[in-house]
Structure 1
Amino acid sequence: MNPKSSGVEITDNGGGSFTVTVESGTPDFTFRDRSDVVSVNTVGCTNLPSNCFYNCTFREFTADQSLTTIGSYAFYKCNNLETITTPSMSKIEDNSFSFCTKLKTLSFPESMTYIGDSCFTNCTQITDLSFGGSITHCGSSCFSNCDSLINLTFNNIDLSDNSLSGITSIENFVIKGRISKINSANMDPLKNYVKKIEINQAFPDEIFGKADDYEYANSGWSTVYNTNTDLFSNFIKLEFFQVNTNFYYADRIFNNCPLLTHFIIRGSFCHYIFCWDVSECRDRPYEGARSFQNTHIKYIEVNKFLTVLGSDLNWLNDAIYINISHFYIPDEFGSKGYSGRPPFIPLSQNVKEIYASSRFFYYIILPNDLPYLNILTINRIDYSDELGYTYRYDIIQNSNPLLFLNCSNARNLKEVRCANKSYEFDIGSYGFYNCYNLEVIDPNINISGEWIFYNCSKLREISVSGTLLPNAISNCENLKLIHFNNVSLEETSCISECPNLEILDFSKVSSFSTVPNSFLGLKNITVLHPLRLIGSNWMNEIENVSVILPKGLSNVNNNAFSNCHTLVNIDIQDVTTIEERAFYSCTSLKYIKHSNHIIQISDYAFWKCTSLLEFQFGDQIQTIGSCAFAYNIFHTITIPSSIQTISSQAFIYSSNLDTVIFMKSPSIIETQIFSSCNLLKNITFVSSDSDVEIAPSAFSDNPKLEYVRLPSTLKTLGDSSFMNCVALPTITIPDSVTTINNKVFTNCKTLTSIQLSNTLTTIGESVFMDCTSLPSIIIPNSVTSIGTTIFKNCISLTNIELSNNLATISVSAFMHCTSLPSITIPNSVTTIDNSAFIDCTSLRSIQLSNSLITIGSKCFYNCAALDQLTIPDSVEIIDTEAFSKCNSLSSIVLSSSLREIRSSAFFRCTNLNNVVIPNSVQTIGTNAFMNCENMKTFTFNNNIRVIETSLFENCYHLETITLPTSTTTIKNRAFYSCRDLETVIMSDGVTDIQEESFSQCTSLKNINLPKYLRQTKRNIFNNCQSLTNITFPENIDRITSFTLAYCSNLLEITISPNCQVLTDAFKGCINIKTIKVGGNAVFSTNCFDSSINRSINIYYKGVQDTTSNDHRNEVNRIYYKIFAGCGYKPDSYCDITVGKPTECSPVCPQCPDFPQCPPCIQNECPSCNCFFSAIKNGRHSTIIFLLARNR
């Protein structure tokens, strides 16, 4: 660069980028002919001097706010220039951008005022140029040879005659503000190219003519100047012309514009544009008559005021829409030769739509196929225009309700209007039947009946007031919107088969009634403002409904949309309260559009809205009611800090919910608030500023829950609050927590780590039950109470430290903790409750509390690994089944203070071999040592009065038992199946031995029945196979059935006098040799059933009178009783000789040399004073009865 003077600083930014800094007041500088420059920035430069960047190759130019003027030829031939940024530009001098062939789009700021000659000449790629501000000078040939220029936009512009000369391609010419000078000379360059001209504002006295006098003059028309004749004539490509300002006439202004289809004037009025073709029209005949000659206008819109229509109306032949809001014909027009009013105007058959005032409508002749009609329903109209003149016209009324019924003139009818909006026009049944081109119907028309709009296939919108009968609106395939006023749908299918119907508008409804199935075949409908339809189920007849409630509505009332199963969308923008069941079971509802103003959402408001994707709670929400969002499918829920109350089950069964964030916790997290959310993973409480309570089951049954951050001010965890959260791996209980209630973490199967609060005092029932992955836990010393089943089924638990302040290990506390190897019970514990360590199959070592008093029922049941145990001397009670099934327990030392060993306390301790009962024990319960298979010795104290039922049943290896002298009773099965028991020693104090007490003691050899035993019970010695003899004491008066059944080695029985031997008492005792029977003993039938199979001796003692026949009778009686039921018995017997005994002789059966007795002989033995009878048994050996008397 070669600056001409100082004050210019050039900074090389690298990569071809330069910054030019120019001090204020610096003279010209040049940077021309540079080919190594990519971009240029100017700082502080107010004017770019002429030729400064002449023929440079940079692509980008950026100026700061300082630059206001670009000098002539400043960017001349900058062939690579693409982008220019000039935020404060006001003046562009001649040829500034000439031959910048790569410029495409330029936009200049509001400060722009001056465009020099040929500014953009030969910018061949420019497509869009936009100039802000007010251009007071636009030089000649500014845009010449801009071959690609399509859009040219000005704000305010003063065009010179040659400003647009040389243009070759422009299509859209837009003036956003005012254009102060426009004439044929400066418009001519556009005529072969422009398609659209749009002018927002204009100066009427300089553009479209000049009105000398706006006042109405008695002498006739206002004076006007025609300065722009042919202004837009021969614009052969012009299609669209719009002026948003006042418009004044000019003759032939659009002459020969063959493509012009749209003519729109939206100013205050359009004055004198269409004049009558009569010489009487003041001094200017035919003015405006050729304004649209050789055009084919289809769309005419004049916003306010049309003065007069000329008679040369061929330009209307192609019009399909005419919208002229007011038609004005002066009253005195009749004085010009037309008898008070102009002739009727015949319209072309091509006219498709007409919208005009009553006056215009009155003076036209309708085409045969009129497609648009403005229904005139009043007899007269008074109209005052803005010029102050009042006109009154008579109108013809036509209110035939069947006016359009299948008539030929209605086949192409497109619109029907009511001119007077205060008048209601009635249409009855079949009113628009088969009007298949009808598109618009006036909302003031009342309709009642059937088939009213049948097959109106182009109708898009209607308003309905009246009574609808079947098919009133039917087969309207393009109908999109129905506005309801006061409507009654009295039969089925009133609105049917409208496949594209989108909106039902109830915003003006004051009464509405339906019957079932009034709507048929409708779907994807939006319902506006259905406030008076609350509680109705009619929307369920429509598939996929959307609802928009009115603005300003604060409440959605109870059951407003309850069970609207087809409701899909609803807009409740201003609502603050949603009352109970408002959207209950809207199973298709997906989207709710609302503001952040909702304060209260009541119970069941969105219950079972199973398609609702999300609901954003605003920062004003305070209350969410019970089950408000139950069964939703939200993915994330953020509860704002404003929340005060969330009621129970508010979000229960949220099947897709992943994350819940409480920005600030309410004081109570209610029951089951987020329970059973199958995909919920994260729960975070961001903050809390008051005590918080989590109510029962608040977050229970969430199988995917992985992360929980509890509020720092949490006091209580309610029952089951995280129950069945099977994926939760870790949890930290804040130090604020004092109570963990029942089942809080039950079945949290993957929980591996938990840190408890140091202020915790109470842990409820089953809190960690079924936490099958929990390996260890520390119960802080602040805890004074733990609930039942607290660690039940914690099968991975291997280490636990208990609080030193616990008083009780509760029921089933460690039930099924199958991996727990050891436990230390703190000395504070006085009670280990029932089943506390049941099924802890790995528990080997237990250190019990020195303060322990009671070991509860099943406390250590099935602790199969426990091998030895010392019960502290403080223990007084070992409860039922306390150590049952401790299969490895071989040694136990009992407490010296022990008072009770209750039922089954050591049941099935199969390795227990020695037990010593302390002197303190008063009772031992039933089954206490049952199935202790390896027990060999058992030592009683002297206090046990009752040997309880099954006390030693199945103690197979118990060999000897000595019962204490205090014992009075041996209960059922006490020693049942003690297979190695050989000797039982009992004192004479035993008075009751109950059923089966020694049954199946197959090794029992010696037993001394107590002296005072009165009777035996069934099966007491059943199957005692080693028992050889037994003597029943003299006090026994009854030997019960099966007393000694199947004692297969029993040889000798001594039966006391006067004893009754019952049936089967000795059944199956097959080896009996001797029976000694006391006097007066009574034998029941079959008492030796299946027993005798060889010779036996029966000694009968106690015969008082040997001279009587009693001997014989007794023998007979014994014979029948003893042998009844036996497999083998004598065939006959000889009578016993009655007489005084003689001296014994060598033939006595008791003598060793006594020979076999011959049949039917009788002998006497004088030596022993006895007598006998021999009975021949032909099949077996002789059975000898020896009846001996007492001596």
Structure 2
Amino acid sequence: MRTWYQIGCGLLAAVLLLGTVPQFPAAAAELETSAAAPEDSGISVDTSQDAKYDVFTYRENTDGGITITSCDTAATSAEIPAEIDGAPVTQIGDAAFMNCSFVSTVTIPEHVTAIGESAFASCPMLCEVVLPEGLTSIGKGAFESCSMLNIINLPKTLTALPDALFYECTFLSILELPDTLQSIGNETFYSCTALASLELPDGLTSIGKYAFQNCQKLTDITLPASCTSIGDYAFDGCQALTAFSVAEGNSAYCAEDGVLFSADQSTLIRYPQAREETGYAVPDACRTLGDWSFIGASTLEQIDLNQVTAIGEDCFYYCTALKNIAVPDGVTQLNGAVFAYCTSLEQVTLPDTMQTLGDYCFYSDVALADINIPDGVTQLGEKCFYNCGALLELSLPASITEIGEKALGYYTNADGKDDQRIDKLNIRNGGSAAVRAYERSWKHASLWKWLLAGGIAVAAAGGITAIVLVHRSRNRIRTTTRQASATKPGKRK
């Protein structure tokens, strides 16, 4: 299998080299995107004064070793030498192989201990990399956007995987992490969409922000007892993730029914997106739902929030099957797009303790027809009920003091360009001056729009009338002229 994979990589590289790219327009577009991306990396390496060797430039280090500083981006093969002029190659510099679009395999010499930032970024045909034992340091984004990379070994001398190391390595499906690994950085495996399984080693202590975001085939994760830190949104967009497991003895986390919690279960950290059950009851001990904790749980239809008193930002964003929800007593605010794009949500019950409904809170909940806004609510955020076309009756209490722009009564028309007013919406005002002011601006916006449209129509009609009158006037002048000419002396009749 490996041989055929290497042959396939070689054939793709040959196709690019021979200029037959038009047969593969998608691949060509991908290359253009990859080539442009590193310009945003902020890395600038001046190699003009460096010595040359084959397709490389290099410079001597103070310790007597050699750093490879660049490679000809047109090179079809790049066999990194173990030494140059008797001095061992010990480092691969920042961006050294960036944009080498035709290189398919790379073997790093045994004396190399450090690979620089973005060293192999945007090498779209790079399929296989062999790293030496003794390598201790890899820079940020070293293999970023190497979309064909699928074979790489990580030596046991590594203790950390840096930020964005395998960012958008979309073909990377299998990887063995070394037992020595202690940390995984931010975005390390971001959008590794083919990565289906990964065993986290004992000794791993931390996972960075967005570390596994959009790993669409990752089905399960087991956290070792040593892992006590997980960054925000580390597992968002893992559409195939069915369950979390946590090793016994972990002091920071636990898992119940495949759902990830803090060790004391007081905070629900992440609900797996692909969990099959359509209903879920939050455990009695849980008081807080973390930010984005249920995002994309597309099978979840019913949920009992039980004793929850705090709901994080964007918590149920894009839970498209959720039909109704009762927010428990004690919850005072819903910040951010908590229920945005819950397109099946029909009914919401809010507690008397509720005070704030934040920006985009129920954005595009197109089926929402029934919601109570209790006394005590003071704020409706920007576009709070935007695109809620089924919500035609809404009672607002006297306690409301602030309503954000287009919080209710608006939707986006078919072309997505203009905001339209929901004319059938009936707002019942319990005596709030803020609600009266909003209603006036809402109705005036519609009136001005009507007047503008009417003005344009009148102007257009006036213009047409003027054109007709001018045309008739010109016809009369032409008729009078012809008649006068016909009576001139000497005119043959």
TM-score higher than 0.5? yes
| 2-structure distance, mates of 1:852, 1:742 | 25
Cross-structure match for 2:471:
none
Query: What is the letter of the counterpart of residue 338 of structure 2?
Result: A
2:113 to 641, 644, 652: 644
Cross-structure match for 2:300:
843
Cross-structure match for 1:900:
356
Q: Shift in Å at residue 898 of structure 1? A: 1.3
Cross-structure match for 1:757:
224
Q: Shift in Å at residue 832 of structure 1? A: 4.4
SS of the counterpart of 1:971? Answer: helix
Conservation of the 8 A alpha-carbon contact between 1:818 and 1:840: yes
| 2-structure distance, mates of 1:676, 1:622 | 25
Conservation of the 8 A alpha-carbon contact between 1:752 and 1:775: yes
Cross-structure match for 1:738:
205
Cross-structure match for 1:870:
326
> Residue 738 and residue 917 in structure 1: after superposition, are their counterparts in 2 closer, same or farther (change >3 A)?
same
Alignment of 1:871-950 (within 5 A): 871-879=327-335, 881-884=337-340, 886-902=342-358, 905-906=361-362, 909=365, 911-924=367-380, 928=384, 943-944=399-400
Cross-structure match for 1:671:
140
> Residue 684 and residue 920 in structure 1: after superposition, are their counterparts in 2 closer, same or farther (change >3 A)?
same
> Residue 701 and residue 828 in structure 1: after superposition, are their counterparts in 2 closer, same or farther (change >3 A)?
same
The gaps in structure 1 that reach 5 residues or longer are: 1-557, 568-577, 583-597, 786-798, 975-993, 998-1017, 1023-1040, 1046-1191
> Residue 968 and residue 713 in structure 1: after superposition, are their counterparts in 2 closer, same or farther (change >3 A)?
same
Is residue 52 of structure 2 the alignment partner of residue 561 of structure 1?
yes
Cross-structure match for 1:853:
310
Conservation of the 8 A alpha-carbon contact between 1:854 and 1:876: no
| 2-structure distance, mates of 1:629, 1:944 | 59
Cross-structure match for 1:778:
244
Is residue 149 of structure 2 the alignment partner of residue 684 of structure 1?
no
Alignment of 1:373-452 (within 5 A): none
1:722 to 170, 174, 189: 189
| 2-structure distance, mates of 1:694, 1:841 | 32
Question: After superposition, what is the alpha-carbon deviation per residue over 1:991-1050, rounded to whole angstroms, capped at 9, x for unaligned?
Answer: xxx3555xxxxxxxxxxxxxxxxxxxx699x8xxxxxxxxxxxxxxxxxx99xx9xxxxx
> Residue 865 and residue 614 in structure 1: after superposition, are their counterparts in 2 closer, same or farther (change >3 A)?
same
| 2-structure distance, mates of 1:654, 1:644 | 21
Q: Shift in Å at residue 875 of structure 1? A: 0.7
| 1-structure distance, mates of 2:379, 2:147 | 55
| 1-structure distance, mates of 2:145, 2:442 | 57
| 1-structure distance, mates of 2:405, 2:145 | 51
Conservation of the 8 A alpha-carbon contact between 2:82 and 2:89: no
Conservation of the 8 A alpha-carbon contact between 1:934 and 1:955: no
> Residue 623 and residue 864 in structure 1: after superposition, are their counterparts in 2 closer, same or farther (change >3 A)?
same
Higher RCO (CA < 8 A, seq sep 6+)? 2
Question: After superposition, what is the alpha-carbon deviation per residue over 1:680-709, rounded to whole angstroms, capped at 9, x for unaligned?
Answer: 322223534xx7112223334434333211
Question: After superposition, what is the alpha-carbon deviation per residue over 1:946-996, rounded to whole angstroms, capped at 9, x for unaligned?
Answer: 7888776348486x94x43x534543563xxxxxxxxxxxxxxxxxxx355
Query: What is the letter of the counterpart of residue 137 of structure 2?
Result: I
2:67 to 597, 602, 615: 602
Q: Shift in Å at residue 714 of structure 1? A: 0.6
> Residue 746 and residue 855 in structure 1: after superposition, are their counterparts in 2 closer, same or farther (change >3 A)?
closer
* Percent sequence identity over aligned pairs: 21
Q: How many residues align?
A: 377
Cross-structure match for 1:694:
161
Q: Shift in Å at residue 769 of structure 1? A: 4.9
Cross-structure match for 1:1143:
none
Query: What is the letter of the counterpart of residue 635 of structure 1?
Result: T
> Residue 695 and residue 874 in structure 1: after superposition, are their counterparts in 2 closer, same or farther (change >3 A)?
same
Indicate the structure (1 or 2) with the bigger Cα radius of gyration. Answer: 1
| 1-structure distance, mates of 2:382, 2:166 | 47
Conservation of the 8 A alpha-carbon contact between 1:581 and 1:605: no
| 1-structure distance, mates of 2:370, 2:125 | 63
| 2-structure distance, mates of 1:680, 1:886 | 37
> Residue 676 and residue 686 in structure 1: after superposition, are their counterparts in 2 closer, same or farther (change >3 A)?
same
More helix by share: 2
| 1-structure distance, mates of 2:164, 2:370 | 51
> Residue 742 and residue 870 in structure 1: after superposition, are their counterparts in 2 closer, same or farther (change >3 A)?
same
> Residue 648 and residue 873 in structure 1: after superposition, are their counterparts in 2 closer, same or farther (change >3 A)?
same
| 2-structure distance, mates of 1:905, 1:686 | 47
> Residue 907 and residue 601 in structure 1: after superposition, are their counterparts in 2 closer, same or farther (change >3 A)?
closer
Query: What is the letter of the counterpart of residue 673 of structure 1?
Result: A
More strand by share: 1
Alignment of 1:160-175 (within 5 A): none
Q: Shift in Å at residue 647 of structure 1? A: 3.0
> Residue 943 and residue 844 in structure 1: after superposition, are their counterparts in 2 closer, same or farther (change >3 A)?
same
Is residue 425 of structure 2 the alignment partner of residue 967 of structure 1?
no
2:259 to 776, 789, 801: 801
Question: After superposition, what is the alpha-carbon deviation per residue over 1:648-673, rounded to whole angstroms, capped at 9, x for unaligned?
Answer: 34445566654444453533222333
Q: Shift in Å at residue 868 of structure 1? A: 1.4
> Residue 955 and residue 853 in structure 1: after superposition, are their counterparts in 2 closer, same or farther (change >3 A)?
farther
SS of the counterpart of 1:702? Answer: coil
Conservation of the 8 A alpha-carbon contact between 2:139 and 2:162: yes
> Residue 973 and residue 930 in structure 1: after superposition, are their counterparts in 2 closer, same or farther (change >3 A)?
farther
SS of the counterpart of 1:802? Answer: strand
> Residue 935 and residue 849 in structure 1: after superposition, are their counterparts in 2 closer, same or farther (change >3 A)?
same
Query: What is the letter of the counterpart of residue 601 of structure 1?
Result: I
| 1-structure distance, mates of 2:358, 2:217 | 39
Alignment of 1:177-188 (within 5 A): none
Conservation of the 8 A alpha-carbon contact between 1:819 and 1:840: no
Question: After superposition, what is the alpha-carbon deviation per residue over 1:484-503, rounded to whole angstroms, capped at 9, x for unaligned?
Answer: xxxxxxxxxxxxxxxxxxxx
> Residue 847 and residue 606 in structure 1: after superposition, are their counterparts in 2 closer, same or farther (change >3 A)?
same
Conservation of the 8 A alpha-carbon contact between 2:241 and 2:275: no
Q: Shift in Å at residue 623 of structure 1? A: 1.9
The gaps in structure 2 that reach 5 residues or longer are: 1-48, 410-421, 452-493
Q: Shift in Å at residue 737 of structure 1? A: 1.3
SS of the counterpart of 1:685? Answer: coil
SS of the counterpart of 1:671? Answer: coil
SS of the counterpart of 1:889? Answer: coil
| 1-structure distance, mates of 2:169, 2:402 | 56
Query: What is the letter of the counterpart of residue 897 of structure 1?
Result: T
Query: What is the letter of the counterpart of residue 580 of structure 1?
Result: R
| 1-structure distance, mates of 2:71, 2:202 | 37
Q: Shift in Å at residue 746 of structure 1? A: 4.2
Q: Shift in Å at residue 842 of structure 1? A: 4.2
Question: After superposition, what is the alpha-carbon deviation per residue over 1:397-450, rounded to whole angstroms, capped at 9, x for unaligned?
Answer: xxxxxxxxxxxxxxxxxxxxxxxxxxxxxxxxxxxxxxxxxxxxxxxxxxxxxx
| 1-structure distance, mates of 2:382, 2:127 | 57
Alignment of 1:265-276 (within 5 A): none
| 2-structure distance, mates of 1:909, 1:611 | 53
Cross-structure match for 2:479:
none
Conservation of the 8 A alpha-carbon contact between 2:241 and 2:274: no
SS of the counterpart of 2:348? Answer: strand
Query: What is the letter of the counterpart of residue 561 of structure 1?
Result: K
Aligned-residue CA RMSD (Å): 4.9
| 2-structure distance, mates of 1:682, 1:908 | 43
Cross-structure match for 1:707:
174
| 1-structure distance, mates of 2:380, 2:59 | 65
> Residue 969 and residue 801 in structure 1: after superposition, are their counterparts in 2 closer, same or farther (change >3 A)?
closer
> Residue 661 and residue 910 in structure 1: after superposition, are their counterparts in 2 closer, same or farther (change >3 A)?
closer
> Residue 873 and residue 783 in structure 1: after superposition, are their counterparts in 2 closer, same or farther (change >3 A)?
farther
Is residue 105 of structure 2 the alignment partner of residue 635 of structure 1?
yes
> Residue 830 and residue 599 in structure 1: after superposition, are their counterparts in 2 closer, same or farther (change >3 A)?
same
